Every structure is written in structure tokens, then in C-alpha cells.
Amino acid sequence: MSSRCTDLPILRRDLPAGTQAEWSQVDPRILQTMREAVRQQSWPLVIWGNVGSGKTSTAALLYASWSRDDVKWFSAAEFVRVVQTARRDGQVLLPGSVNTVGEESIWRVRVDQSSLVILDDLGTRMPTDSQYEILFELIDRRAGKPLVVSTNHSPDGLANIFDERITSRLLAGTVIEFALPDRRRQQGRRFRVTERLKIANTETA
């Protein structure tokens, strides 16, 4: 990220698949807070808010702007799935990869050695014991290291879904609430067609 708060960060790589965003769309206060978190190494960075408030887009921009290599992006559900598949089958093909890897490689290369890990959409559903253990290990392994987590849940909501072990680790760094409206709803187009209008159009034709 650029060091000056008045400048927009430079995008150094493509955004994760399925995301579209520009730094100019991000509230400057959010950008400044994120810069402070990076400067002070206040990890993890947890961003939470309503659906459509721009959490994933902002995390994607940080991913694309990170100055170091070895940046990893996972949805929480995707990461759990690949670890569980590796445990079951011994190997798994990771998204965007051509070679299969084992579980040990996932933890060592994708988690421990990455300069930044982004975990998107944490807490979309109540985890099983196995899913909880995997998510806990990821968060625990990234303690003190750059980790960004996006979620629709408040800190209290996360505590209800998980427990104090995960929640205390997530709240040890910087938490930003995206108290913003659903941008998808604002951008959508709306039409109202009534029976009366259809009859009128038919008669005109």
C-alpha cells in the first residue's frame, strides 16, 4: 500500500476472481484506518458489516495492492473444504493450481509462509467440530502475522457462532465496522409493471 493517505494504493496484481472494485469507491476513513493497521502491524484486521457494504471488495483491493508476493485469498468455506479434502484423499487440487498438494503443504506454504492471508466471509453458518478446528488453526497460525478477515457478523455475533478462543484472537488486532448501506441495492434498477399498464399498452398497439 502507498504510504501517503492522500494517495490511492497501486494495484500490483489482479483482484480475486469474482470481485470488482476500485480504491476510489472506498471511504477515505476506511482506507486511512487500514493503513494505520498495516503501519502498526495490528493484526488481524477484521472488517465486518451488513451484506453489500463493501467488505469483500475492500479486502480484494488490499489483496491486489499488497506490496509483497505470496498473498493468499480464501473464502472461509473454500479453505475448510480444501483442508478436509486433503485429509480425506491425501491430496487436493487448489483453485487456480495445476498440481495437487497435501495438507502439510497447505498449512506450510499457503498459511505459514504467506506474506498476507485473506479469509473472506467467515461465519456464514455454524461450523461443525471439524470445520471449527480448521478455522481455529488458521487464525492461530497467523497470530501476529498479516491476516484479514471479512464477516457479516459483529464481534458479539462471532462469539455466538464460535467461542472465546477464536473471538479473542480475532479481536486482538484492528476491527473496522462497515456501517454502510447495501451498495448492490442502491445500484439496482427497479421497475413496476401493473395489469393496467399492460392493458393500456395493448390498446395503444
At 159 the pLDDT is: 92
At 182 the pLDDT is: 64
At 125 the pLDDT is: 87
pLDDT in tens, 25-48: 999 999 999 999 999 999 999 999
Q: Does residue 202 surpass a pLDDT of 60? A: no
CA distance 35 to 136: 26
Instruction: For residue 92, give the 3-state DSSP assignment.
Output: strand
At 135 the pLDDT is: 97
- 3-state SS record for 142-181: CCCCCEEEEECCCHHHHHHHCCHHHHHHHCCCEEEEECCC
Q: Mean pLDDT in the chain?
A: 89
| Nearby residues of 129 by Cβ (< 8 Å), 6 or more positions away | none
- Rounded to two decimals, what is the model's pTM? 0.84
Q: Does residue 3 surpass a pLDDT of 70? A: no
Q: Does residue 198 surpass a pLDDT of 60? A: no
Class of CATH domain 23-204: alpha beta
pLDDT in tens, 126-172: 999 999 999 999 999 999 999 999 999 999 999 999 999 999 999 99
